[in-house]
């Protein structure tokens, strides 16, 4: 008798290769980090990565209580990094951090095989977790998104943070049903939720056991009020201690102090997104004296008007270079 394709047994089921059922882990079990993870910039020279400066930044963040480093993400300009450079930055960061705090490596791709290759490499050189963005440009269906993500998860043993950012992926977003299925895969641990949709965050919190990290600095406290574990942050590049403190205060029950600190920074946070990230934050770091080098095209210098706004807001907030 011919075997029936599993997908054919239920034509309404978009997930033909479901993960085996397992008891729900309690949210927080196996958490990679709580608090503030910096989506760290990659310092460049005109010819490559400035590894001396990257080491300075790593030590700066550890000294200022950053809870985790996310390397080669959006803010790190990974999309303009050739594979060998991308890999060398992950390896360098993992070695320099040396397990003092977790390192999460951005290894997502719109090519499943490429994402698997990068993910296996990152695991082999000591990354503590992986950040996996949804496929961009070619995109896929929810079934394809499930299969793509499952294939990556099955290729490694370290935790995976799903990266939901439809504003950068042509509108492709994990549906709640897809997240519920992916959450059954043991090493799919968390989600960086960057839709800005608090209703969606609430539904993820209610219906999955994924650890939730805000992917937007302007909603850190609202996400934590829904059970979020912290933030993967852009503003932490220039205010690491303050970003850590917002999360730590909330986590330890000092919610009013957390809210006050968060709101005191909201104008600066918004200003860091007046142009495409990471243009403003990298520009701010260079204005403040961090010397993190140029942006890579197609990213370009800020407009004069926006640069003036950025400088004024940095001054209003008394932000200084701490290196």
Residue 1 lies in a domain: no
Residue 317 lies in a domain: no
Residue 65 lies in a domain: yes
Residue 165 lies in a domain: yes
Residue 52 lies in a domain: yes
Looking at residue 233, its pLDDT comes to: 98
Residue 93 maps to which CATH number?
Answer: 3.20.20.70
Q: Coil, strand or helix: which one is 188?
A: strand
Give Cα separations from 33 to 2, 168, 191, 308 (angstroms): 48, 25, 12, 36
Report DSSP letters for 15-62, one per residue: -TTPPPP-PPPPTTTT-S--EEEEEPPPPB-SSSB-HHHHHHHHHHHH
Residue 275 lies in a domain: no
Residue 273 lies in a domain: no
Q: Please enumerate in sequence order all residues whose Cβ is within 8 A of that of 204, keeping only pairs 6 or more positions apart, or say none.
A: 176, 179, 191, 193, 210, 212
The structure's pTM equals 0.91
Residue 108 lies in a domain: yes
Considering 121, 146, 163, 250, which one is annotated as catalytic? Answer: 163
Strand 129-133 with 103-106, pairing: parallel
Looking at residue 320, its pLDDT comes to: 77
Instruction: Clarify whether 139 is annotated catalytic.
Output: no
Q: Please enumerate in sequence order all residues whose Cβ is within 8 A of that of 308, keeping only pairs 6 or more positions apart, or say none.
A: none
Instruction: Clarify whether 121 is annotated catalytic.
Output: no
Number of domains, the chain: 1
Looking at residue 261, its pLDDT comes to: 98
Beta-ladder partners of 106? 131
Looking at residue 6, its pLDDT comes to: 34
Task: Going residue by residue through the chain, which has 323 residues, state the pLDDT in tens, using 9 for 90 and above.
Answer: 333 333 333 434 555 544 444 444 444 457 899 999 999 999 999 999 999 999 999 999 999 999 999 999 999 999 999 999 999 999 999 999 999 999 999 999 999 999 999 999 999 999 999 999 999 999 999 999 999 999 999 999 999 999 999 888 888 999 999 999 999 999 999 999 999 999 999 999 999 999 999 999 999 999 999 999 999 999 999 999 999 999 999 999 999 999 999 999 999 999 999 999 999 999 999 999 999 999 999 999 999 999 999 999 999 998 876 65
Considering 87, 91, 150, 192, which one is annotated as catalytic? Answer: 192
> Could you list the residue range(s) of the whole structural domain that residue 58 is in?
26-265
Looking at residue 184, its pLDDT comes to: 96
């Amino acid at each position: 008798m011919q075997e029936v394709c599993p997908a054919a047994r239920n034509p309404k089921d978009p997930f033909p290769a479901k993960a085996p059922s397992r008891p729900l882990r309690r949210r927080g079990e196996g958490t990679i980090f709580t608090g503030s993870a910096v989506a760290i910039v990659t310092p460049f020279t005109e010819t490559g990565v400035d590894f001396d400066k990257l080491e300075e930044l790593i030590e700066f963040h550890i000294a200022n209580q950053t809870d985790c480093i996310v390397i080669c993400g959006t803010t790190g300009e990974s999309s303009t990094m050739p594979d060998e450079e991308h890999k060398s930055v992950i390896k360098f960061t993992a070695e320099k951090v040396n397990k003092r705090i977790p390192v999460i490596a951005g290894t997502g791709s719109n090519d499943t095989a490429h994402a698997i290759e990068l993910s296996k490499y990152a695991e082999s050189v000591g990354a503590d977790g992986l950040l996996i963005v949804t496929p961009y440009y070619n995109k896929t269906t929810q079934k394809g998104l499930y299969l793509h993500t499952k294939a990556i998860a099955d290729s490694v043993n370290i935790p995976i943070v799903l990266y939901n950012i439809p504003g950068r992926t042509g509108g492709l977003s994990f549906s709640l049903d897809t997240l519920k299925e992916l959450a059954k895969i043991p090493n799919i641990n968390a989600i960086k939720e960057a839709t800005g949709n608090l209703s969606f965050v609430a539904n993820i919190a209610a219906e999955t056991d994924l650890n939730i990290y805000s992917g937007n600095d302007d909603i850190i406290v609202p996400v934590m009020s829904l059970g979020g574990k912290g933030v993967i942050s852009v503003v932490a590049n220039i205010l690491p201690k303050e970003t850590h403190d917002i999360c730590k205060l909330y986590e330890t029950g000092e919610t009013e102090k957390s809210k006050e600190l968060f709101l005191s920074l909201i104008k600066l946070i918004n200003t860091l997104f007046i142009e495409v990230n990471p243009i403003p934050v990298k520009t701010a770091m260079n204005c403040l004296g961090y010397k993190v080098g140029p942006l890579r095209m197609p990213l370009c210098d800020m407009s004069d008007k926006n640069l003036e706004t950025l400088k004024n807001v940095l001054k209003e907030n008394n932000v200084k270079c701490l290196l």
